Amino acid sequence: MVADRSPRLDLVFHALAHPARRAIIRQLSGGEQNLSELAAPLRMTFPAATKHVRVLEGARLVRRRVSGRQHLCRLDAAPLKAAMLWTEQFRRNWEARFEALDSLLDELKSAEQSRTRRP
Amino acid sequence: MNPTPTTSPKDLQVSTPTDTTIVLTRTFNAPRRLVWEAMFTPDRMRRWMLPPPGWTLTICECKLRVGGALELAWKSEDADPVMTLRGVFTEVVLYERAVHTETMALGSGQTIGSLLEKHEFAEKGGVTAMCITQTYDSKEARDGAIASGMEQGMEAGYQQLDAMLAEPA
C-alpha cells in the first residue's frame, strides 16, 4: 500500500468532496479568475467562496495571487493527477470484472435469441 | 425491434463524490433483465467475479429479496476461507434497484470493513446503464478499499489475460 498513507492525497480527496469546490475547479479550468467572478455564478457569498478556495489552496489545487485589490485564482491540476492515478487501479480491477460480465451478457443474449428463433 | 448498437461508451467511471463513497458507473450492451440476472444469480456471478490469482470462489449465494443473504467466500492455498463477504439485502426493486449491506472479513474472522452497496439499473434501447454506489463506514474504510484495489487490480488484469490466452480463439 504505497499511496495508502498520503496526507497530500487526503487533502485532495477532501477538497474534491464538495460540489461547490468541484464547481470552482470546473470554472478555473477555463482560466484564471478573481474571487468575485468565481463566487457570482455559484451564487455564493464572497466569504463562502473564500473559504472553499482556501481548502482548494490547502490541497494545492488552486493558487492565489493578489494583484491590487483583486485575488486571482488559478487551477493547478498536478495533484488531481495523483488522485486519478490512485483510483485508476481500483477502476481497472472492476473493469476487468465488467469485461468478463460483457462476455457473459453476449453469451446470454445469443442464447435467448437462438431460443426465440426456434419454432 | 430496435437495433442494438454493437459498441457503446461502456467505459467504467469511478468517482468519489463524498469522503465515504465510491460511485461506479458502466453501461452494458444487454437488456437490464440480463444484467440484473448476471449480477445477482450465483452461477452467473461466478462467471464474472474474478478472484485474485490463486484464489477460488468456494461459496457464492445470493437470496435476492429483502432480508435475503448474500454470502461469498474464497479459499487460497494457505487458507480456507481466506476471505468472506456477508451481507443482507435491504431493498429490492426488480430490474431497477437493489441495496445490500456487506461486511468483508479475513479467514480468521477479523473484519476488514463494512459498506452499503446500492445498484441502480436504467435501460435505453437495449443498453443498460448500471450505477453502483458504495457507502463506507468511514473515510479510512473507503480509502482502504481503493488502496486494496491498487494491489489486486494488476493481478486481476493479468489473470484475465491468461484466461484469454488459454482459450482457443
- Give pLDDT tens digits for B70-101: 999 999 888 999 889 999 999 999 999 999 99
Express each pLDDT in B116-134 by its tens digit: 999 999 999 999 999 999 9
Are B149 and A109 an interchain contact pair (Cβ–Cβ within 8 Å)? Answer: no
Give the pLDDT of residue A5. 53
pLDDT tens string A25-76: 888 887 899 998 888 888 888 889 999 999 999 989 999 999 998 899 998 8
Amino acid at the residue B15: S
Q: Residue B1 has what pLDDT? A: 39
Rounded distance between C-alpha atoms, residue B142 and residue A43, angstroms: 31
Domains, chain B, with CATH or none: 14-166 (3.30.530.20)
- Whether this model's ipTM surpasses 0.85 comes out as no
Distance CA B40, CA B83 (A): 20
| Residue tagged 476488514 (cell numbers) | B112
Average pLDDT of every residue of chain B: 83
Closest approach of chain A CAs to the CA of B6, in angstroms? 10
Instruction: Give chain A positions within 8 Å (CB) of B147.
Output: 1, 3-4
Does pLDDT of B8 surpass 50?
no
Q: Which domains does chain A have, with CATH numbers?
A: 7-78 (1.10.10.10)
Alpha-carbon distances of A34 from A66, B33, B150, rounded to whole Å: 9, 50, 38
Rounded CA separation B136/B16 (Å): 11
Question: pLDDT band for position A118 (50/70/90)?
Answer: low
Question: What is d(CA B123, CA B131) in angstroms, rounded to the nearest whole number?
Answer: 12
